[in-house]
Structures are given as structure tokens and as C-alpha cells.
């Protein structure tokens, strides 16, 4: 595990950022992407279709990442997110089909919590290695859902051993006047204005209630973990459980609750996949998104905002690849080339000559590839999310800091 090594490096000062900074970043990104669209002619980069698909791709990853965040902030590594998501997809399928859409959401949360409960009992009470327990949960969840599905879905209309019947859909929001009114503006391709119209259209067309809830949970998590006493105590269990206990915090109880909430979040992520991203439980539909969520959380430096950005980046690049990938990913190459050259200049100004040369060469090579080919082969478009994530992690990983006692075992009474 490379992370503890990172943890020992002194933590960089985290600057407080105002909400306006985030707004500026979003607007800046929008302008940059608009510019890219104009230069490359890849007009699917900011269509409202792409943006709403990005939202749908982002939320399950973000929810899984939130699950990871809750647990790791309390010091419990949760590699079982994938398994808890799988349990969530089944919960949504079973309860959603039999008792209605909202029961499906609750079912997903409930079954995710069952996964969380197993992990909590194993790691918090019996002090099992976090990784071993997490991997075990991934295996158990897969087998258990396959077994349950073959017991409960066979014979139902549209159901079978590998899929549930169709789950009734959750309410979704469409503000027709706004959505239709902006359609013309979006299609007219006015620089930046059309992009803003596309974003607004995506948010007013078929926006699922669960998407809104998912995004709100990110905010709620931030508020609870960073603005309440409960949150402070919970995080203290992940930073220094000994200190926390010596100050009277019931460390084990906090850890237990954190892992339960973690399971609930991951379960909801699975529920979202089954109910919003598609409309039934399907064997294997999580497709590693739990692991991606874990990566997004690390990418985001164990903080809600960063984790959301990581999930969004992943969701966006994945969506581009799946939609008109050959053009859009081709356009992204140009963006990567320009970014690499910019970093090269930055490094040069800091007198890091070797790094500057490295980035400059990378930028020139990627740029050359951009001009040499007209579209990117499918083999590469599917890799894009992973390559971009690796690139960004590579650039920023020096600044990551995980909770100090993350993954370490803790016995009650260690404070002496």
C-alpha cells in the first residue's frame, strides 16, 4: 500500500476556498471546453445529452466515493464498496419491483447497510484486516446476489436468473418551457452561451429525483463531517483514535456508525445504477464502479468537493467515450496536449528543468498524435477515463493526504 508512505510526508496547508472560487472554476471549465469545441469541431463535447449522461454516470461513482469517504474518515478502509453496491442493485430490484420505486431506494440502502454491517462487525469489533474483510464482502455479495436473483426473479415477467423485472421509475423533473425554449439557443452554437444553455437544459430535462438526492448527499456529507461536533469526532477517529478516546470519544461506536453509513451510500449507488442509469437489476452491472469510486475519493484527497470533481471527470470522459467517442476523445487529445505544455511552462518558471522537458515532450507528442489522426480507435476511447485519471493523479498525487490512522487496527482502551 503506497498511501501510508504518502501520509508521512508533511501535510500541505489547505487553503480555504470561497464558493466563488468553485463557481469561477466551473465557468472557466465551461469556457475552456467551449473553446475546445470551436477549435476541434467536436460538437458533442457540451451537448445537453452529454451533460445529462455525464450526471447519470457521475452520481453512482460519487455515491460510492462518499461511501468510501465516510468509512475512511473514521479510519476504516473500505474496499468492499463494490460488493455493497452489488447488494444495492439487488435491493433496488427486489424491493422496487414488489413495493414500488421509493421502496426500491430504501431496499438498496438497506442491503448496502447489510454489507456495511458485515464490514463493521469484522473490522471494528473483531479487528479483521480491513482489506481482507472488504475483499471477502465483494466475493460474498456477488455470490449472494446471484443466488438470491435465481431464487426470486426467475418466473417473474421479464425476470430471470441474471436480471430482475423492470423496476417502476422514480419521479423525474422536466421543466418543458425552459427545456424547449433553450433548445434553439443550444443548437445555434453561440460561443459559451450555447454551452450554458446546454447545461441548463440538461438540468431541466428528465432530471431524476435520485440524481438530485445524490448530489445533495455530497453537500450533506460535507456539512455533517466538517461542520458538526459529530463530524469532528468521527474524523478524529480516523486521524488519531488514541487521542480521541482519551478525550472521551466512543471511538468504536463512531467507527461502527461510519461504516454503516458507508454501506448505505454504496448501496444507494447500486440502487441508482439499477433504477436511474438503467431500470432493472442486472448481474454484473456495477462493472467495477465501486473501485472507481474509491479511486475518485483518493483523487479528491478524502474531501467531498475533490471527490465530486474526480467522479465528474471520470463520468464525463466515460460518457464521451461511449457517445461519439472517436471525435470527442480526439478533441480531448488537444486539451491534454495544451495542458501538458502549460504545465511545462509552469515547471520551467519554477526552474524544474527536467520536469518541464518531460511535460513539453509529452505535450508535443500528444499534439502530434492529435494532428496525425482524425479519430481515435474504440480500443482507446474505452481507456480514456482510466488514462485521464492516472494522468491527473500523477500530477497531483504528491499533495494527497489520507486520514493519519486510516486502515490501522484499533483496540478499545489503546489510550491506556
Q: Which residues bind other proteins (CB under 8 A)?
A: 1-3, 44, 47, 49-50, 53, 56-57, 60, 79, 131, 134-135, 138-139, 142-143, 146, 150, 154, 157-158, 160-163, 165-166, 206, 273, 277-280, 282-285, 287-288, 291, 294-295, 298, 319, 322-325, 378-379, 382, 393
Cβ-based nearer residue to other proteins, 84 or 344: 84
Q: Is 142 exposed, middle or buried (0-12, 13-18, 19+ CB in 10 A)?
A: middle
Cβ-based nearer residue to other proteins, 277 or 355: 277
The span from the CA of 310 to the CA of 307, in Å, is 5
| SS3 state of residue 208 | strand
Smallest separation (angstroms) from other proteins to the CB of 373: 18
Cβ-based nearer residue to other proteins, 50 or 311: 50
The span from the CA of 395 to the CA of 58, in Å, is 22
Cβ-based nearer residue to other proteins, 147 or 230: 147
Cβ-based nearer residue to other proteins, 28 or 143: 143
Beta-ladder partners of 208: 172
Smallest separation (angstroms) from other proteins to the CB of 7: 11
Smallest separation (angstroms) from other proteins to the CB of 29: 21
Smallest separation (angstroms) from other proteins to the CB of 364: 27
Smallest separation (angstroms) from other proteins to the CB of 2: 6
155 DSSP 8-state letter: T
Can you state the percent helix, strand and coil of the chain, rounding each to 5?
A: 75, 0, 25
> How many other C-beta atoms are found inside a 10 Å radius of the C-beta of residue 234?
24
Smallest separation (angstroms) from other proteins to the CB of 138: 5
Give the torsion sign (CA, 226, 317, 191, 207).
negative
Smallest separation (angstroms) from other proteins to the CB of 34: 18
**Per-residue buried b or exposed e for 96-116, using 16+ beta carbons within 10 Å of the residue's own CB:** bbeeebebbbbbbbbbbbbbb
The residues, any chain, with a CB within 8 Å of residue 89's CB and separated by 6 or more, are: 108, 145, 270, 271, 273, 274, 281, 282, 285, 286
Cβ-based nearer residue to other proteins, 86 or 249: 86
Cβ-based nearer residue to other proteins, 72 or 245: 72
79 DSSP 8-state letter: T
Amino acid at each position: 500500500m503506497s498511501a501510508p508512505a504518502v501520509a508521512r510526508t508533511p501535510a500541505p496547508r489547505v487553503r480555504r476556498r470561497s464558493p466563488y472560487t468553485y463557481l469561477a472554476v466551473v465557468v472557466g471549465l465551461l469556457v475552456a471546453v467551449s473553446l475546445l469545441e470551436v477549435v476541434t469541431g467536436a460538437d458533442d463535447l457540451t451537448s445537453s445529452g452529454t451533460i445529462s449522461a455525464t450526471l447519470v454516470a457521475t452520481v453512482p461513482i460519487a455515491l460510492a466515493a462518499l461511501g468510501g469517504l465516510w468509512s475512511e474518515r473514521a479510519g476504516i478502509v473500505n474496499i468492499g464498496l463494490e460488493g455493497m453496491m452489488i447488494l444495492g442493485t439487488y435491493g433496488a430490484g427486489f424491493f422496487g419491483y414488489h413495493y414500488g420505486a421509493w421502496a426500491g431506494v430504501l431496499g438498496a440502502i438497506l442491503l448496502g447497510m447489510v454489507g456495511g454491517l458485515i464490514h463493521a462487525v469484522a473490522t471494528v469489533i473483531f479487528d479483521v484486516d480491513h482489506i481482507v474483510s472488504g475483499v471477502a464482502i465483494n466475493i460474498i455479495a456477488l455470490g449472494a446476489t446471484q443466488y438470491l436473483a435465481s431464487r426470486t426473479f426467475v418466473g417473474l415477467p421479464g425476470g430471470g436468473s441474471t436480471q430482475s423485472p423492470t423496476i417502476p421509475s422514480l419521479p423525474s423533473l422536466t421543466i418543458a418551457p425552459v427545456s424547449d425554449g433553450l433548445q434553439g439557443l443550444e443548437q445555434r452554437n453561440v460561443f459559451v452561451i450555447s454551452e450554458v444553455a446546454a447545461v441548463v437544459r440538461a438540468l431541466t430535462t428528465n432530471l431524476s429525483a435520485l440524481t438530485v438526492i445524490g448530489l445533495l448527499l455530497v453537500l450533506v456529507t460535507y456539512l455533517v463531517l466538517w461542520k458538526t461536533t459529530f463530524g469532528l469526532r468521527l474524523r478524529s477517529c480516523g486521524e488519531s483514535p488514541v487521542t480521541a478516546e482519551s478525550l472521551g470519544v466512543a471511538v468504536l461506536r463512531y467507527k461502527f456508525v461510519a461504516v454503516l453509513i458507508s454501506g448505505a451510500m454504496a448501496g444507494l449507488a447500486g440502487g441508482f445504477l439499477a433504477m436511474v442509469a438503467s431500470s432493472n437489476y442486472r448481474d454484473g452491472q456495477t462493472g467495477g464502479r465501486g473501485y472507481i469510486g474509491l479511486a475518485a475519493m483518493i483523487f479528491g484527497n478524502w474531501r467531498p468537493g475533490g471527490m465530486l470533481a474526480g467522479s465528474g471527470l471520470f463520468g464525463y470522459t466515460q460518457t464521451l467515450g461511449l457517445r461519439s467517442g472517436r471525435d470527442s476523445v480526439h478533441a480531448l487529445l488537444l486539451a491534454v496536449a495544451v495542458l501538458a505544455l502549460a504545465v511545462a511552462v509552469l515547471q520551467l518558471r519554477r526552474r524544474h528543468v527536467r520536469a518541464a522537458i518531460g511535460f513539453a515532450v509529452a505535450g508535443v507528442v500528444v499534439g502530434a498524435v492529435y494532428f496525425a489522426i482524425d479519430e481515435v480507435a474504440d480500443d482507446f476511447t474505452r481507456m480514456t477515463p482510466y488514462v485521464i485519471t492516472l494522468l491527473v493523479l500523477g500530477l497531483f498525487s504528491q499533495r494527497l493526504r489520507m486520514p493519519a490512522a486510516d486502515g490501522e487496527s484499533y483496540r478499545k482502551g489503546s489510550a491506556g
